[in-house]
Structure 1
């Protein structure tokens, strides 16, 4: 039996690998001048990444390495790279957050605020990630940049509020609570995760009284209890 080899296909694969290696190096170094040199040689060089559904782009590499200026330049040249997930299910925005490159995160949302809602592995968004680590200041910035992101759910039907409570991040929870009240979306407080629990159910189950006392249903009861205890003291 004879085997037919598609020479053109092999050539294309080899070319793509060469393109990737060249761009990988400039992304690691944050070398904007060399990037434009490659573009001058091949104006379609960044388009190679559109051919593959999931891949590590130069923007992923720059995000991991903290090459902020390079990442901003690249995102301006090829905005679609910011939407691409790598084979692990993460976007450049997710990787920047995981590496704690906050300046880059702010740069990303300044260019495209919708990236706050980009879904990665487990349908986790950047807002979910920040709720998980409990960075109240950054959480506030993301909410202002993309107000609708507060409605996003993980594959476990968790809101950012669920995640903040499950991770015992009270300050982050207060930011989220204040936001849903500000935008008249208190209905989100009643949303249940895959186990059928609202945020206040979870708080009660984990003895987070500071959270349960902020429930609109028992706030007065908490206030009265505090008053009685104060009088008793």
Structure 2
């Protein structure tokens, strides 16, 4: 029941509620939500919904939640790119730990950089363009 409440609060962007829940029990940020072999954590849900404020709140209480993977082996940057959440992509790329996210392959071997290159996004964030050009050298 606690996890469902946290997921609902994250999905709805209820920052104060999320803050109180994580202040009470930080492990809620790491719990899997979903069914069977298809699950995610709160940071994936926030990325999917485009909720930068929720990601900020999660990272404030649980900084290492940025490294969490969903059932597909994807981090929050994978999820944000796949769901065209530009604000989340920018926020995550500006985080200190973004270099850990960019090159992390999912279960299919795709990094966020691969997903971005294969997408139909018109503008590729500058940080990823620079990263892609240095990878090819």
Q: Normalising TM by the smaller chain, what interval?
A: 0.7 to 0.9
Q: Which residue among 77, 101, 123 is the counterpart of 2:39?
A: 123
The residue matched to 2:72 in structure 1 has which SS? coil
The superposition leaves residues 176-209 of structure 1 with CA deviations (integer Å, 9 ceiling, x where unpaired) of: 1222xx14x6133111122221111111111324
Does the alignment pair 1:213 with 2:126? yes
Task: Indicate the residue corresponding to 1:157 in structure 2.
Answer: 73
Q: 1:114 to 1:204 in 2, by over 3 A?
A: same
Q: TM-score, normalising length from structure 1?
A: 0.50
Mapped to 1, the partners of 2:127 and 2:29 lie a distance apart of 26
The superposition leaves residues 197-224 of structure 1 with CA deviations (integer Å, 9 ceiling, x where unpaired) of: 111111111132433532242479xxxx
Task: State the number of aligned residues.
Answer: 129
The residue matched to 2:114 in structure 1 has which SS? helix
Mapped to 2, the partners of 1:127 and 1:101 lie a distance apart of 12
The superposition leaves residues 38-70 of structure 1 with CA deviations (integer Å, 9 ceiling, x where unpaired) of: xxxxxxxxxxxxxxxxxxxxxx3xxxxxxxxxx
Conserved 8 A contact 2:33-2:41: yes
After the TM superposition, which parts of structure 1 deviate over 6 Å for at least 4 consecutive aligned residues? none
Q: Tell which structure's C-alpha radius of gyration is larger.
A: 1
Task: Indicate the residue corresponding to 1:190 in structure 2.
Answer: 103
The superposition leaves residues 21-49 of structure 1 with CA deviations (integer Å, 9 ceiling, x where unpaired) of: xxxxxxxxxxxxxxxxxxxxxxxxxxxxx
Q: CA deviation at 1:113?
A: 2.5
**1:24-39 correspondence to structure 2 within 5 Å:** none
* Gap runs ≥5 in structure 2: none
- Cα RMSD for the two superposed structures: 2.2
* Gap runs ≥5 in structure 1: 1-59, 61-81, 83-89, 221-233
- Which structure has the higher relative contact order (CA within 8 Å, separation 6+)? 2
The superposition leaves residues 109-137 of structure 1 with CA deviations (integer Å, 9 ceiling, x where unpaired) of: 12223322211213311111000010112
